[in-house]
Each structure stands twice: as structure tokens, then as C-alpha cells.
Chain A
Amino acid sequence: MNLEGKQQIWKDYQKDIADDRYYYARSCIRQTFFPGSEWAYLDILGNKLGKTVFDDPRHTTCTGIGYHSDVVPVETIMTVVARHFALMTEAGFENITPSCITSFGIYTEILHTWEQHPEWEEKTRDFLWKATKREFKKPKNLAHTSDVIYKFRNEIAAQKKYSLTDVHTGQPLRVVDHIGCHYAKMFPSKGIGGAEFPAVLSGMVNAWGGESIDYPERRHCCGFGFRNYLVMANRGFSVANSKKKFESMQPYEPDFIVTNCPGCAMFLDKWQYTISEMEGTTYGPNGYGIPVLTYEEMAALVLGYDPWEIGLQMHQVSVDPLLEKMGISYDPEAKYKNIRGENIGRPQCPTYLKV
């Protein structure tokens, strides 16, 4: 393939990301399991980058998990999404930025369906009007929040307090990334780098001083797969997918995993505990796991946020060794204290996984 051809292909995998004025759509999973992540994102965008983001309390779940598990019909999810667009329109915004990869996939799929089948858009407008007396304009720009951070990665690098480097050796940290399947596998042209050349996270890693590792199973699913996990009999299949990824990345001795999907962050973090209990296997050095960060947490650490303020104590796999490597000063005593300084209690210790 000549250079012209490569450049042509790469062009297909670029996307327009709005500059400012984002309507924010929260993620059910992220705000439950990694609440500090969404807070950090809003704080970085608002206070570090000076952007306007509207965090709308009236916004609800997109029902994507129910839709992919065959319990929410397509008419329902389209109407729910139409309501989100109506809230965005009412608030005077045109750019929607979901925090969840599932929502991002849902919005992309629905907008695409309406483009191909305008009668479905008409039907949905009718449902929404009957149900809520609301009308909507379709978003001018749809970008995942990781796209937004990717867009401003150099601005963040300019303000960074810490680098993704090992302060003891001076070497860049070895980072393995995991891109949510619904980010670019359904509509490759909607994700930076598409499904084959995922660049949204590695772009951040490289910009902030780390080294991105292209491990063999990088593009493999984390195993969440909605009904794979929701039906207990299928969970063995779900965890097997994560295990395949861990086994593939372990030989590269990664310092941490970074993901852009809330579900993937949760599974890659918590399955390490499950696998350790079931098989006694841990994937990090000396009985520790491989820490899992969301890209917001990674950005926040680079910008010098307090690890406990962004909720890193909520992770199953301990991030303390990573903080030490990066030379981040933190108070170990404050790990299990809330914002008022009260003790929130320590989690029970796993049998094998060191925390």
C-alpha cells in the first residue's frame, strides 16, 4: 500500500468533534462504579479547558443495556433518545457528548437508522409528542467524551503536573488500552482510528508521555456483552473474554490498562478479583493486579488531581503502586475517608489479589 492509500484510509477514520458547548449525557455504569470519573471530566472541561458543558439533571438512562438484552423494544429506546435530543434542544445546545460507549453506539445507530428510514424518525417524533409534548432537533455533532479529551490532549499536556513515566527509571509507562466495542466496531467511521487502528486512547497516552502497547488481543471484547453477563449461566463466557485479554497483555508487563467504556472499565477491574478467587491467578507483579483507569482518571492524574478526590479508592485493583511509579504525592491515610474526613470503612481483603 502506498502512502497516499494509507492517508486516504486514515481520513475515513477521522471525525469532527465540536469545539465547545457540549450537552453531557451521563452513563449509568460510570456514575455508579466510577463516580469520580464523571466529576473529573466535568471539572477538567469547565475549569481547566474553559469549555461550557451542560450536565442536565433531567437526562435519563438511554436504556441501551435493556435494548441490547432484548427487554426494551426499539420504538421505546428511540423515543427515550428522542427525549434526550429534546432536552438538548430545549437547553439551547447542538452538540451531544455521551459519557457511555453504549449510549454513543445507541445514538449513532438511531441517527443512522433515521437517515436510512426517515419514516422511523417521523414515527418517533409522533411517539415523543404523544408521550411528552416535546419536539427536538437532531444533534449537529455527536462525539463520545473520550473524543473530546482526545481533541484537547495537547492542551491537557500543556497543563500537566505529572507525566505517564516511571519517575524511578525515567522510562515511559507501558500502557495497554481497551476500546469499547460499541465505539467503533459497529460504525468504524465514527471512531478515531476505527476498529482496526484504535487511536483515541493511545493518542492521549502518547501525548502525556506514556508508551502505548499494541498487544495481540487489544481489539478483543472485554466480555460484558450485556446478556452474556446478565444471564448468570453465561457469565463464564463473559469472564473468559477478559481472561483472554489479561493473558494476552500480561507478557508485556503493562503498568496499567486504560479504557473508554464504563462497562469495560468495570469488568476489567472486577474480573481480576473474580479470576483470582476462582483460579488463584493475578496478572500484575507480586500478587497485585493490573490497575484499570478510565481516560478521565488518567487525564485527572496527569493534571494533578488528588487520587482519592477522583475516586480511585473505588477500584477493585489497587492503584497505589501506579501512583508511586508516577511519583504522585498522596495521603494513604485519606484513602478511605469521605469529603468530610469521616472514615468510610475498608473493603474486605481478597484471598489472593493484593490490594
Chain B
Amino acid sequence: MNFWGFSISEARVIDYDKNDKTLAQIMATEVPSSKLCIGCGGCTATCSAGNLTEFNIRKLQMLAKRGENKELQTQLHKCMLCGKCLLVCPRGVDTRRMIWSMLRFINS
């Protein structure tokens, strides 16, 4: 019974031994250009979905690469697959394909 008025905080440590890296591996094979991302955030800045909601494509792909897949499930469906991010990426990352690949993994 918890009568203390507080609960145990969850650790924010990224534990690479425990995290599931399957999605990151699939993404790297299916969309090799995803490895070129420099995390500039251009995609996020131009994203219409991100303008209206908390959706943040740069952050989501970073989480996926770390194997922290929890947030993806609640966020990814906000993407309209419009492809604006694709046009601004300075590294030529196929962002839309990347999102598509993440969506497929989550839905499977």
C-alpha cells in the first residue's frame, strides 16, 4: 500500500542491453539513408503535423534508433505522409519512407 504521497521515479537511463533494437535494425536496412541524419530538426520545423500537435519526427527517429519504442506507438499515426520533410532534409534522408517503415513495424 502506498501511503507516502510519492512513488518511485522511473530511471531515465538508456539501457542499451535491455532496449529492443529490432526496429532500428529494420530501419537501417530498409531505409539506408536514415543513417545519414544529423539531427538538425529541419524535418520537424517544416512538418504540418508537428505545427499543430506535439508530434516531432526528429525526436521519434532518435528514440527509434535508441530502441525506445514506447512513444512511437502513440505519436506516429499523426504523420500524414505528405512528404514535406523529405524536401527540406539537407542530408537527403528519405524521411517519409522511414516513417512508413516504423509504422509497418509498429502495426505488425
Contacts and interface: CB of A to CB of B under 8 A. Distances in A.
Interface of A: 232-237, 239-240, 243-244, 274-275, 277-279, 351
B7 interface: yes
Contacts of B11: 240, 244
Interface of B: 1-2, 4-11
Contacts of B1: 277, 351
Residue picked from B4, B5, B6, B11, most chain A C-beta under 10 Å: B6
Contacts of A351: 1
Given A277-B1, A351-B1, A233 B8 contact: no
Contacts of A274: 4
A236 B2 contact: no
A237 B11 CA distance: 9
Contacts of B2: 277-278
Given A277-B1, A351-B1, A240 B6 contact: no
Contacts of B10: 240
Contact of B4 (A235, A237, A240, A244): A235
B7 A278 contact: yes
A244 B13 CA distance: 11
Interface SS, A side: helix
Nearest to B2: A278
B9 A240 contact: yes
A134 B7 CA distance: 48
A345 B64 CA distance: 56
Nearest to A243: B8
B16 to A, nearest CB: 14
A237 B8 CA distance: 7
Contacts of A277: 1-2
Contacts of A233: 6
B29 to A, nearest CB: 33
Nearest to A235: B6
A275 B8 contact: yes
A225 to B, nearest CB: 12
Contacts of B8: 236, 239-240, 243, 275, 278-279
B5 A237 contact: no
Nearest to B10: A240
B5 to A, nearest CB: 6
Contacts of A234: 6
Given A236-B7, A239-B8, A240-B8, 14 more contacts: A232-B6, A233-B6, A234-B6, A235-B4, A236-B6, A236-B9, A237-B9, A239-B9, A240-B10, A275-B8, A277-B2, A278-B8, A279-B8, A351-B1
A278 B2 CA distance: 5
21 contacts: A232-B6, A233-B6, A234-B6, A236-B6, A236-B7, A236-B8, A236-B9, A239-B6, A239-B8, A240-B8, A240-B9, A240-B10, A243-B8, A274-B4, A277-B1, A277-B2, A278-B2, A278-B4, A278-B8, A279-B8, A351-B1
